[in-house]
């Protein structure tokens, strides 16, 4: 009960700040706010009571205190919700990305809200009682918690009916209740997909035999780039000076499949729409790379991010995240390192080629690490991974500098394609995996549940460049660049670019073919 009280008092500041935003301190609201405090205390007591026994009580309480201190930091500092997708991101994050999140404030949270109370619990001597007394004591505690919860909910029925229906977001900040629930969901979904056989999605796949020209398509999977920060889309700052010189189309109304890399990347390569997609479907079915591989397309995935999130398990994969051979590494290796030796790879292939370049892009919070010093156009830039130490102006400057570097990177990819245009029909497709919050309404980074995520996290940058031999009428597409699109279109756009025939191909979702010819 003392641990539960500590968690409520010191690890739920974000929960109560959101509650007070919806239920301000007034004479009418005070009884409900007090009941909310007691309800949260009772729920946590019940939860801890169910899992704490003679030999488990200390390890479990210590672990929960340590984890809750970290959860409290991220919720208080970035308005982050610790849901299933966020846990998946944490587990799949590489060490260098994780180090960007460690700072002095996080260490203080971990010491004062985690290590010190955990040490107190560790030193306590537990008096052992006879088994029957232990059981009775446990039942009394659990019964008291259940009765208290029941009395509060029934006593404030109208308030909690509104609270449950209209303020779901507040409950998502309950620490440790929601992250424990999310952990259970993550473990359950992981066990389901662990040994799942891969189901084919296009056994009827065929290549257009009349198409004698070879295609070379480079699909750049961007990282954390929101659409409203592209000057191609009307942003006042020149963040795309090089792309603006190209005959290019910017899909100005592109929505992401999720708000995190772990969710969006598998989804954008799958045949399922955002509404249909689940991790079980994403891991249990072949994706567009498998389909194109069956059609004889040469596929290479090069990664400068954490990994492909399971998408490239059955195709050629290279991780350039820590590659030092490209000689452009200072505090980290740059995205352009993925272009090293790429021409040599192209020269040794026969037939169509699809290359996926997975960027580090604008991965936060250390935006300043994502670009070389010469790309610091907007000053002063935030040069701290703890965004609280920077002003909103500095955060925006470093974020926009990273987009300037992506502009440069994409222009280099286009030049590579131009160099191969005599031999191949060439095209560049770029789409960011998700967007980013930069302090709007106190929210930072990404990963919010989709149903409450701000548009900054779901409205993503996406562009298309095509060589003349590809036969795409860019000007005709530009006239319709404001139409609503999403990651759902990518599966079918890639099928269309390689002219692969299969029953699952939906021409209306292949925005390139459908809008250009209709």
**Both structure tokens of 490:** 């990518």
* Domain contains 170: yes
pLDDT given at position 326: 47
What's the rounded mean pLDDT across residues 161-175? Answer: 87
Instruction: With a cut of 70, say whether residue 209 has pLDDT above it.
Output: no
User: In a 10 Å sphere around its CB, with 0-12 CB exposed, 13-18 middle and 19+ buried, how is residue 439 labelled?
Assistant: middle
Residues 221 and 135 occupy one common structural domain: no
Residues 115 and 245 occupy one common structural domain: no
pLDDT given at position 162: 80
**Cross-strand bridge partners of residue 144:** none
Domain limits for position 93: 2-194
What domain count does the chain have?
A: 2
Pairing type for strands 353-358 and 316-319 reads unpaired
Can you give the pTM of this predicted structure?
0.86
Residues 290 and 426 occupy one common structural domain: yes
What's the rounded mean pLDDT across residues 69-98? Answer: 87
Query: Poorest-confidence range of 72-76, 330-334, 395-399, 401-405?
Result: 330-334
Residues 262 and 342 occupy one common structural domain: yes
* Domain contains 380: no
Residues 409 and 346 occupy one common structural domain: yes
Q: What are 427-469's pLDDT values in tens digits?
A: 999 999 999 999 998 899 999 999 999 999 999 999 999 999 8
Spatial distance between the Cα atoms of 438 and 124, rounded to a whole number of angstroms: 44
Q: What are 349-364's pLDDT values in tens digits?
A: 999 999 999 999 999 9
* Domain contains 212: no
What's the rounded mean pLDDT across residues 183-196? Answer: 80
Spatial distance between the Cα atoms of 500 and 163, rounded to a whole number of angstroms: 51
Residues 349 and 247 occupy one common structural domain: yes
Residues 331 and 444 occupy one common structural domain: yes
Residues 143 and 260 occupy one common structural domain: no
pLDDT given at position 19: 94
Instruction: With a cut of 60, say whether residue 66 has pLDDT above it.
Output: yes
Q: How far is CA 70 from CA 145, 153, 259, 406, 430, in A?
A: 26, 30, 21, 32, 35
**Both structure tokens of 34:** 């007090």
* Domain contains 469: yes
Spatial distance between the Cα atoms of 126 and 286, rounded to a whole number of angstroms: 54
Instruction: With a cut of 50, say whether residue 191 has pLDDT above it.
Output: yes
Of 27, 434, 455, 98, nearest to 266 (Cα)?
Answer: 434
pLDDT given at position 85: 83
* Domain contains 383: no
Q: Is the dihedral of CA 49, 186, 191, 58 positive or negative?
A: negative
Computed over every residue of the chain, the mean pLDDT equals 91
* Domain contains 398: no
Q: Does residue 288 contact residue 312 with C-beta atoms inside 8 Å?
A: no
Residues 122 and 221 occupy one common structural domain: no
* Domain contains 413: yes
Residue corresponding to tokens 């009827």: 204
Q: Which residue has the higher pLDDT, 154 or 410?
A: 410
Residues 163 and 233 occupy one common structural domain: no
Domain boundary, last residue among 144, 160, 194: 194
* Domain contains 152: yes
CATH of the domain at 281: 3.40.720.10
């Amino acid at each position: 009960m003392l641990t539960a009280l500590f968690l409520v008092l010191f690890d739920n500041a974000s929960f109560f700040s959101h509650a007070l935003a919806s239920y301000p301190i007034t004479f009418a609201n005070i009884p409900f706010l007090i009941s909310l405090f007691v309800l949260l205390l009772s729920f946590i007591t019940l939860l801890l009571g169910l899992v704490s026994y003679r030999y488990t009580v200390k390890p479990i309480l210590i672990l929960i205190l340590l984890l809750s201190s970290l959860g409290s930091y991220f919720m208080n500092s970035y308005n982050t919700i610790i849901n299933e997708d966020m846990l998946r991101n944490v587990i799949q994050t590489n060490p260098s990305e994780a180090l960007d999140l460690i700072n002095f404030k996080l260490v203080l949270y971990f010491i004062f809200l985690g290590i010190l109370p955990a040490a107190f619990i560790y030193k306590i001597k537990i008096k052992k009682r006879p088994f029957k007394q232990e059981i009775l004591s446990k039942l009394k505690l659990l019964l008291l918690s259940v009765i208290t919860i029941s009395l509060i909910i029934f006593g404030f029925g109208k308030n909690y009916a509104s609270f449950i229906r209209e303020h779901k977001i507040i409950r998502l900040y309950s620490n440790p209740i929601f992250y424990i629930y999310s952990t259970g969901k993550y473990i359950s979904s992981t066990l389901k997909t662990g040994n799942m056989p891969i189901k084919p999605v296009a056994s009827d796949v065929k290549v257009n035999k009349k198409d004698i020209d070879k295609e070379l398509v480079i699909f750049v999977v961007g990282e954390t780039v929101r659409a409203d920060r592209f000057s191609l889309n009307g942003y006042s700052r020149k963040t795309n000076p090089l792309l603006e010189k190209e005959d290019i189309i910017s899909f100005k109304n592109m929505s992401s499949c999720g708000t995190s890399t772990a969710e969006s990347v598998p989804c954008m390569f799958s045949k399922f729409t955002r509404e249909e997609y689940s991790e079980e479907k994403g891991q249990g079915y072949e994706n567009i790379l498998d389909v194109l591989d069956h059609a004889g397309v040469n596929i290479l995935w090069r990664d400068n991010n954490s990994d492909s999130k399971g998408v490239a398990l059955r195709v050629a994969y290279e991780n350039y995240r820590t590659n030092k051979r490209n000689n452009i590494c200072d505090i980290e290796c740059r995205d352009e390192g993925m272009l090293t030796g790429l021409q040599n790879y192209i020269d040794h292939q026969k037939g169509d080629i699809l290359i996926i370049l997975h960027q580090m892009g604008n991965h936060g919070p250390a935006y300043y690490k994502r670009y070389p010093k010469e790309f610091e156009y907007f000053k002063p830039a935030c040069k701290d991974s703890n965004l609280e130490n920077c002003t909103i102006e500095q955060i925006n400057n470093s974020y926009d500098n990273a987009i300037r570097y992506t502009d440069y990177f994409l222009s280099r990819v286009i030049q590579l394609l131009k160099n191969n245009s005599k031999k191949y029909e060439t095209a560049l497709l770029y789409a960011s995996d998700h967007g980013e919050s930069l302090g709007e309404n106190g929210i930072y980074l990404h990963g919010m549940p989709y149903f409450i995520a701000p548009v900054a996290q779901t409205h993503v940058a996406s562009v298309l460049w095509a060589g003349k031999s590809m036969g795409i009428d860019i000007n005709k597409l530009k006239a319709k660049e404001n139409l609503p699109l999403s990651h759902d279109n990518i599966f079918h756009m890639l099928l269309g670019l390689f002219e692969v025939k299969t029953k699952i191909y939906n021409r209306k979702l292949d925005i390139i073919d459908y809008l250009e010819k209709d």
